[in-house]
Structure formats: structure tokens, C-alpha cells
Structure 1
Amino acid sequence: MFKKTPSLFIIYALIPCLFFGQVNEVNPPDYIKTITFKGHTPESQLPILRLGEYLVLEFDALNGDEEDYYYKINHYNYDWTPSVLTKSEYMDGFDNQRIRDYENSLNTYQIYSHYKLTLPNEQTKSLKVSGNYLLSVYNNYDELMFSRKFMIYENKSNVGVTIKRSRTIKDIEKKQRVEIAISPIGMQFNNPMQTVKTVIVQNNNLNTAIKNLKPQYTIGNQLIYKYGTESSFWGGNEYLFFENKDVRAANTGIQGVDLKDLYHNYLFTNYPRFDRVYTYNPDINGNYLITNIDAEDPTIEADYVWIFFSLLPNDAFKNKDIHVYGNFNNYAIDESTKMTYNSDLNYYEKPILLKQGFYNYKYVAVDKNGILDEGAISGNFYQTENNYKVMVYYRDLGARYDQLIGVGEGSSVNISN
């Protein structure tokens, strides 16, 4: 195992600051699974907390070593470049502390240790300012295991969010457009074209966020954003889903069960939906929920199961890589989600080790240039129910960091022209 020397670690830590690069989330090694990250809204995997609210991170380590893990917290600007604030300016207490709350699995075929971190705690008493944060988890060798982004906001503005159909004829059946109205509370915006920044997120997926739209005009002290293409997202399609809370029997979306070293669950083979009409099918927008019908505490009693995904082929994505996509792995596109073509059975297949629960997923295509196309297999439909969040940042003249002064939320369930 590679161990960083102190001098190398200092260099790695300074690189983002030297080049002012945007920080990206780091996904875990294959023995760390089921990272859940949430605040007061348990269904969200992208915590957006009001200043003073709590935050919970949970994950499983499947290597059975009962390792110690440590966490660090850093503050960032609206565009995820490092902020100039020192730790004492945004944190009351200390980070780089050991995660002390963990339990071993109970009555499961797969042995694992379940870790839980709650913020604030005795060591990290509070986070004092709003804005963007990155929570990073390290092992005993100070090697970065994974990192996750979260946001803290202050209620200093009202953010109205309205979802409309596309204005362009060629995309009117496929895209959704976000309109925004921002009103300050107890303050005035100074030079809002420069000081106000916006970020629009679809279904808690930061990878596809639209950033830094400028207000088009004002009505009184209200900033209005009514863009055409600039604030448009592909509609996508409703997520597919399965549930295996009872691992021993076929359940929703599962056609067969087998027990080997671990349980194997075989999903029904899916088909491409891009060339079919839209059908409403309620989902949880790519999220997942850990559950076990026989358990009092699913966090340590739910087992890990090999889930076998399969997809019928189509010439439309014949020369592209196909991946299983969802919040179960933070929308990562890598070898752990890449499907292979089975010529004997004439479908794409991929087994993925997942903890028991209810999961949303879809299939996406990636071309040879690494360009992701979410609609290549599932299609894009303006009717699709999607969740949108709009974050509003403000840096007053002479200020040293970007405050997150308001969050608005909207759904396309009642989309209009």
C-alpha cells in the first residue's frame, strides 16, 4: 500500500490552491460501499443545510479490518475553487478527527463495518459561515478514501423556481427550462451582475449543474432569470427501479434469486426506451433507500447482494460504452458500472454489489471521447418528473467568500409552456 510522506502530502494539499482548480469529489475504493450523505431531508444525497442544522455521513467498509477513518472539512467558493478562509474562520472546533461511531454487521453473509459521522459533534462544534464545503475521509495512512460535497445556506433571499418547456421547436418535446426570481430579505444587492451567482442542479446531480447565469433584468429589487437555452436541461426519462428488501424471494423488478457465496438477484432484462412514447412511472429521481424486511436496524443487518443488470442491444448505441447510472455510486462513470456485451445471450450485462434496499437506476451511453449521453438509451421527454434546486450565492463588494444566501426548489410535475 502506498504511503504518502509528509513532504509529498504537503505538496498534494497545496496543488489546488496553487492552480485555483475546481475540486471534484473522489469516489471510494471498491471495498467502501453505500455512502449515504444527508441532512434533515433523508431522501437527499446532496445535503443543502440551513446554518446550524446537522449533517450525517454513513458508509460501509467491506474489508473486515475495522480500520480507523478520519475526516477533514474544507470551505470553497461558489465555483468549487478553494476559498481564502482559514479553518478558524469557518469552523468552531477541530477536524482531522477519528470517526468514532461504528458497528459490525449482524447476521449477514457479507461481513462489513458500518461507520457513522454526525456534524456538529464534540470535536467539530459548528460550521460558522454559509457556502460550499467538502467533507473528505482518510485512512490511517492519511490516504484519501473519498470525498463528498455539501452546502450550508442562510435565509437571506427568497428564490422562486418555475419549470417550463423549451422555447426552441426542435427541443420542445425533450427539454425542460428553469426560470428563477430572486428577492433579497433584509438586504440590498450591490452590483448584482457581479456579486450574485446562481447554480441550478437537476436531481441532486452536480455533474450536470448549470452555473453562473446572470440576471436578465430586475423588477424592483427582484432579479429575474428567464433564459431560453442557457437554463435548459434534457428531460430524461423516469428511472427504472428494483427492490430486494426480502433477499430470498423475487420482488419488484427481480425475476430470479440464487445463493452462492452471497445472494445473487437477477433483474428483468430492460429494453431501450428512447424510441418509445413516454410513460409516467413514479421514481425517487435516481436515489436509493437501504431497507430490510427482517431487520430492526438495516444499517448493520441488511446484507450485500450481487445485482445482475441486463439490457437489450440497439444499433443507436452500438459503438458506445454502456453504464448503469444512479445515486448509488454518486453518478460515477467508471469500470465498476461499465456493461459488457454477452453474445451468447444477446444483451449487455453487469453485476454490481449493492446493499439491500430500493434503488433507482438507468442506463447511459458514453462515446469514445468520454461524452455522456443520458438520453441515448432512456430517451428525453419534457413530461419527465425531475427535481430542480437553485442555489444563490452572494459576495458583497470587498467580501472574502461567497455566502449561500438562498435555496429554491421546483418540480417539473406541473410543467407549463
Structure 2
Amino acid sequence: MSLKPLFVIILFAVPFSLFPQVEETNPPEHIKTINFRGTTAENQLPILTLGDAVILEFDALNGEENDYYYKIKHFNFDWTPSQLVQSEYMDGFDNQRIRTYENSFNTYQIYSHYILTLPNDQTRGLKVSGNYMLYIYNSDGQLVFSRKFMLYENKANVGVVLKRARDLDVIEEKQRVELTIDSNNMQLNNPYQTVKAAIIQNNNLNTAITNVKPQYTLGNKLVYKYDSETSFWGGNEYFFFENKDIRAANNNVQFIDLKDLYYNYLYTNIIRANRPYTYNPDINGNYVINNIDASNPSIEADYAWVYFSLEASDALKNKQVYIYGSFNNYAIEDSNRMTYNPESHNFEHTMLLKQGFYNYKYVVADNNGVINDGVISGNFWQTENNYKVLVYYRDLGARYDRIIGYGEGSSVNITN
């Protein structure tokens, strides 16, 4: 047999495994407050039923009323490119201009607020479930930023239970997710090969556990009762501040100042890793835009320079410390990196943020971008965390990964 035909067969058998996983692109400095959600959810990772509307909002602070365009791509469960062509997953067209925007009203910081709703007249709908990426381009065709979202079908019931870890070395620090997937009347062929689960803690895709396969079957149910394979560090409750009244200091804002814009100085936060766990209600890293004096916070909420400070121990002084939360898409970048001040003995940093209620925490990252939030916040099994579970299924011979089920759980009722 000739080697050339054999090579061609092998090449076409595994072409898509050669593509790397796609990552989200974070925006430049003049693009702020990217809010990606469904019609009812407040600014969270969009995991929506197939057919539901998806809404993207963002602010452009350059005051130029630029034109922005969007594209949508479909991906496999592992965020490698899907084999589907656009007409197979989309009804209509993308690469369209975002037509809805308003300019800010009665604010010191001038900005334009853009809103994209899907489906619309040009993009009439998305046909299949699975992973998607929304790309935003400027009028020169340059990518400005991108965001992931997921659409699922209600074909399977997903039970999510939170337990403490079984490993005694980390029993005080980790939380374990147990799953039960009931496919109802849907036949799951060879589930150990075709079914994969993804578990997401607090809407943070950076720490998600993916490609989890069933441990065993029980009748028509798939059961996952792993220990280390589905365990997460518990972390700690998020710090928070609120500046919906931008002219007054409240809710962890120590004092304010007005220069070109308002400056909000937060109280200095402490290192909690070696302190006992204390319950402090949070919204699991999320944020909500609000202005106490506005009827439409989307265009009437102002921007303020928010001054963060964190006490520094000797062990932290030479570390790379970052401010972390949904407000910056859990990114590790220079824009949210703190600087050690030898005079105050604190880590300090200032960020331009829109008025509202914010959750945040401090994390340490090494030169390779590996994140450790336990160094500063500590890890506690009692921490209240939210977990979302996606169930992917690719039947034998199918060309894309469907999401056939979605489940959600909280560690508020965690058990041994």
C-alpha cells in the first residue's frame, strides 16, 4: 500500500484535534464594563436555554461613537473549532454592525453604551446547542474583545450535590462536587466515550474542571462520585464595595475625592489565609451596575477611580498580586496588577470602574500565569460557592458536541 493515501486518511481522520483551544480576548483600556447575560440574569456567564435571547452591553470611553461589528463561532466541548459551517448553526448572518447605542447622560466620564441582542433581524437565531464565542470587531476589522457563552437543551436532568473532600490532607480546604445525570427517555450510547461534564465554580472559566467522564451507571443514570477529579479549592468569601452614591463614602469606601473624576478610596483589606473562616454574604465574584440617583444606570452611572489597598506580609512582598473578579473577567493583566508601596507597607492599585456593587478578591500569579487565591484569602470548606454543570454529548458519528443538560448547586448546604 502506498504511504501517501495512508497519510491522507490519517490527516482527515484527526484534523480538528490539531487546533488549539480558543481563549477569550480581553478589551483595550477604553472598553469597560462588559456585561454579557440573558434577559433575566444579572451579568453572569451566559449559560442559556437554546432559543433564549443573549444580551451583550459594553461602554466605549473614547467618546467617538465608533462602529462595532460582531461575529459568532461554534466550538467543541474543549473549545477547539467545530466542524459545522455557519449555515448549520446559525439562521441568518453575522458580521453585522451593532446598531443600538446611547451616549452617557450627566456624567463626568463621557462614554457610549452599546447593546447587542441576539437574535435580531440579521442574526435570526442559533440552531444548535453547544459552546459559542462572540467576537467584537472595530470598523477596521481589528478584534476588540471576545466572550464565551453556552446554549443547552433540556434533555437530561442534572443533580448537583456538594460534599467535603475525602482526602484528609485537604478536608478543611476543598469542596467536592457529586453529579447524577438522568437522561430521561434519551438514549445515551456508550456514555463513557460520548458524555463529558464541565463544572464551573462562581462563573470562572479559568478554574473550570472539564472533560469529566461518568464514574459508573445506575440504571438510566450516570453517576459521578469522584474525589480529587471533581474537587475545587474552597477559597473564601469575596471582599465587596458599593459606590452607587458616588458623592458619599459608604459600604467599604473609606473616603472620596473629586478631581477630574470621582476617586473612591477603599479600606485596606487584610490577609485572611491564617485567620478563622468568617461568613460574609457575597454574590460570588459578580457585580451589579447601579446609581442611586439614576433611572437608567446603563447611561447615567458615572465612572470613578477606585483605590484598592492590601496589607503586605514579608512573604508577599516579592509576589505578583492581582485584583480579581467578574468585573475584569477574572483576567491576569497589567491593568489589575498591584504595586507594593514600601512607605505604607501595602499593595496598592487604582482601577477605573463604573458605579455599582462589586465583589473582588486578591490572587497571586506566577510568571506562567498560574493563579493561587489561597495565599491571600485562604481556602475553607465552609465558603459559600456556586457551581454550574454542563453535560456535553456527541453521539457516535455526530459532528458536534451538544449540551443536553445543565445543573446548578451551592455549597451553602455542604455535607460530609
SS class of match (1:363): strand
State the alpha-carbon separation in 2 of the partners of residues 374 and 230 from structure 1: 20
Structure-to-structure mapping, 1:35-50, within 5 angstroms = 35-50=34-49
Give the length in aligned residue pairs. Answer: 402
Letter in 2 for 1:183: D
Is the deviation greater in 143-152 or in 210-219? 210-219
State the alpha-carbon separation in 2 of the partners of residues 259 and 235 from structure 1: 39
User: CA shift at 1:316, angstroms?
Assistant: 3.3
Are 1:200 and 2:199 an aligned pair? yes
In the alignment, what sits opposite 1:370?
Answer: 369
Structure-to-structure mapping, 1:109-258, within 5 angstroms = 109-258=108-257
Letter in 2 for 1:118: T
Runs of 4 or more, structure 1, over 6 Å off, are none
Letter in 2 for 1:331: Y
User: CA shift at 1:17, angstroms?
Assistant: 6.8
User: CA shift at 1:19, angstroms?
Assistant: 4.2
Are 1:30 and 2:29 an aligned pair? yes
In the alignment, what sits opposite 1:346?
Answer: 345
Are the equivalent residues in 2 in contact too, given 1:320–1:368 (CA < 8 A)?
Answer: no
State the alpha-carbon separation in 2 of the partners of residues 31 and 17 from structure 1: 35
SS class of match (2:358): strand
Are the equivalent residues in 1 in contact too, given 2:184–2:220 (CA < 8 A)?
Answer: no
Letter in 2 for 1:298: P
SS class of match (1:238): coil
State the alpha-carbon separation in 1 of the partners of residues 235 and 126 from structure 2: 36
Are 1:76 and 2:75 an aligned pair? yes
SS class of match (1:88): helix
State the alpha-carbon separation in 1 of the partners of residues 16 and 363 from structure 2: 34
State the alpha-carbon separation in 2 of the partners of residues 220 and 84 from structure 1: 33
Are the equivalent residues in 1 in contact too, given 2:165–2:171 (CA < 8 A)?
Answer: yes
Are 1:305 and 2:304 an aligned pair? yes
State the alpha-carbon separation in 1 of the partners of residues 40 and 300 from structure 2: 23
Normalised TM-score (structure 2): 0.95
User: CA shift at 1:343, angstroms?
Assistant: 1.2
Letter in 1 for 2:50: L
User: CA shift at 1:319, angstroms?
Assistant: 2.4
State the alpha-carbon separation in 1 of the partners of residues 382 and 58 from structure 2: 35
Are the equivalent residues in 2 in contact too, given 1:288–1:360 (CA < 8 A)?
Answer: yes
Identical counterparts, % of pairs: 68
User: CA shift at 1:360, angstroms?
Assistant: 0.2
SS class of match (2:335): coil
Are the equivalent residues in 2 in contact too, given 1:40–1:49 (CA < 8 A)?
Answer: no
Normalised TM-score (structure 1): 0.95
State the alpha-carbon separation in 1 of the partners of residues 297 and 143 from structure 2: 27
In the alignment, what sits opposite 1:294?
Answer: 293
Structure 2: segments with no counterpart, 5+ residues: 1-14
User: CA shift at 1:40, angstroms?
Assistant: 3.6
Are the equivalent residues in 2 in contact too, given 1:319–1:367 (CA < 8 A)?
Answer: no
Deviations 1:269-301 (A, max 9, x none): 011000000000000000000000010100000
In the alignment, what sits opposite 1:8?
Answer: none
Letter in 1 for 2:350: P
Is the deviation greater in 168-177 or in 39-48? 39-48
In the alignment, what sits opposite 2:398?
Answer: 399
In the alignment, what sits opposite 1:319?
Answer: 318
Is the deviation greater in 181-190 or in 105-114? 181-190
SS class of match (1:180): strand
In the alignment, what sits opposite 1:380?
Answer: 379
Is the deviation greater in 309-318 or in 106-115? 309-318
State the alpha-carbon separation in 1 of the partners of residues 308 and 410 from structure 2: 29
State the alpha-carbon separation in 2 of the partners of residues 283 and 53 from structure 1: 27
RMSD (CA atoms): 1.1
SS class of match (1:299): helix
Are the equivalent residues in 2 in contact too, given 1:104–1:300 (CA < 8 A)?
Answer: yes
In the alignment, what sits opposite 1:7?
Answer: none
Deviations 1:40-71 (A, max 9, x none): 44234210110111110000000011000000
Are the equivalent residues in 2 in contact too, given 1:114–1:300 (CA < 8 A)?
Answer: yes
Are the equivalent residues in 2 in contact too, given 1:164–1:416 (CA < 8 A)?
Answer: yes
Are the equivalent residues in 1 in contact too, given 2:239–2:361 (CA < 8 A)?
Answer: yes
SS class of match (1:399): coil
SS class of match (1:336): helix
Deviations 1:231-275 (A, max 9, x none): 000000000000000001101010010000100000000110000
Letter in 1 for 2:410: S
State the alpha-carbon separation in 2 of the partners of residues 119 and 111 from structure 1: 27
- Change in Cα spacing, 1:206 to 1:92, as seen in structure 2 (3 Å) is same
Deviations 1:378-413 (A, max 9, x none): 000000000001100000011110000000100000
Letter in 2 for 1:218: T
Are the equivalent residues in 2 in contact too, given 1:337–1:352 (CA < 8 A)?
Answer: yes
In the alignment, what sits opposite 2:10?
Answer: none
- Change in Cα spacing, 1:231 to 1:41, as seen in structure 2 (3 Å) is farther
State the alpha-carbon separation in 2 of the partners of residues 126 and 135 from structure 1: 14
Are the equivalent residues in 2 in contact too, given 1:316–1:376 (CA < 8 A)?
Answer: no
In the alignment, what sits opposite 2:269?
Answer: 270
Are the equivalent residues in 2 in contact too, given 1:290–1:357 (CA < 8 A)?
Answer: yes
State the alpha-carbon separation in 1 of the partners of residues 43 and 302 from structure 2: 22
Structure 1: segments with no counterpart, 5+ residues: 1-15
SS class of match (1:89): helix
